[in-house]
Chain A
Amino acid sequence: MLELALFYLAAGISLVSTILAVTRVNATHALIYLIISLLASAIIFYLVGAPFAAVLEVVIYAGAIMVLFVFVIMMLNLSPAGEAIEHRWLQPRMWIIPALFCTLLLAEITYMLSRGDNLLMGHMVGPKAVGLELFGPYVLAVEIASMLLLAGLVGAFHLGRRYLTELREETS
């Protein structure tokens, strides 16, 4: 029954932090709550028996994609006035709720890892099964995903390059 309690705790953290992320006025605070929501989703993935997807969720979603948002927020306020605004926004009391959620999630993952293999939740589908399936019947989907990522790369390069050149013309 403790496993179910872990699941409902992670689900509750995910719901609350997602609601907080959507309702924040400040984009930086929304980003923090969104990252916590994704970390809670990763815990749920681990709990239902998908450890590889949990790792991908942390590395790609909470890592790479959220870093893109952070870069854009950094690019949008490059001036000293923006720095002053950031300083006003990032007060210590803003960190209480995210830190609390993160501590709860950390306690959950520590408990799960200390339990080891005893925490078997239904059907565990490991990375090996996923990889065999991915490069077996689904190899065409992998190719389509690679083309999609190439298109995203080219599009982002095109749009971002024009932004930088126009910004340079505007300042000079």
Chain B
Amino acid sequence: MTEVVVIPMEHGLLLAAILFLIGLLGVMVRRNILLILMSLEIMLSACGLAFIVVGAHWGQADGQIMFMLILAIAAAEVSVGLGMLLQVHIRIGTLDIDLASRMRG
């Protein structure tokens, strides 16, 4: 077992791009704030996947470090986003983002 099978980088990047597109479509199509936040998580995770795949292709640790920074960004973003979701829920009484389209609606 000396042969080393390398996963093609292009396929990994293609997977990351498709996941990012699914997340983007989710952000644009869904009107539930919770689902929009989940789609944002999908997009961030796809970015992390792209970094990992590229970093692994050249055998460098930088890709994993960028993934960790993306992880920190995702944690901060989701905590603030969920706090704002709770505010929207108490003020408007629903999670439909179309009803929150006006500043003083």
Chain A residues in contact with chain B, CB under 8 A? 1, 3-4, 7-8, 11, 14-15, 18-19, 21-22, 24, 27, 30-31, 34, 37-38, 41, 44-45, 47-50, 52-53, 56-57, 60-61, 64-65, 68-69, 72-73, 75-76, 118, 120-123, 125, 129-130, 132-134, 138, 141, 145, 148-149, 151-153, 155-156, 158-160, 162-163, 166-167, 170
- The docked-state distance in angstroms from the alpha carbon of A45 to that of B56 is 9
- The docked-state distance in angstroms from the alpha carbon of A147 to that of B19 is 29
Closest B residue by C-beta to A1: B5
Interface size on B, residues (CB 8 A): 62
Select B65's contact among A14, A76, A138, beta carbons within 8 Å: A138
- A34 B32 Cβ-Cβ under 8 A: no
A-B pairs, top 9 by smallest CB distance, nearest first, are A159-B83, A152-B76, A123-B59, A22-B26, A156-B79, A145-B72, A163-B86, A48-B56, A122-B6
CB of B103 within 8 Å of the partner chain? no
Could you tell me the dominant secondary structure of chain B's interface residues? helix
- A75 B32 Cβ-Cβ under 8 A: no
A11-B11 contact in complex given A22-B39, A31-B38, A56-B71, C-beta closer than 8 Å: yes
- The docked-state distance in angstroms from the alpha carbon of A18 to that of B23 is 8
Chain B residues in contact with chain A, CB under 8 A? 1, 4-7, 11-12, 15, 18-19, 22-23, 25-26, 29-30, 32, 34-35, 37-39, 41-42, 45, 48-49, 52-53, 55-65, 67-69, 71-80, 82-87, 89-90, 95
Select B83's contact among A15, A121, A156, beta carbons within 8 Å: A156
Select B38's contact among A30, A47, A75, A167, beta carbons within 8 Å: A30
- The docked-state distance in angstroms from the alpha carbon of A24 to that of B34 is 12
- A159 B80 Cβ-Cβ under 8 A: yes
Closest A residue by C-beta to B39: A22
A154–chain B nearest beta-carbon distance, Å: 9
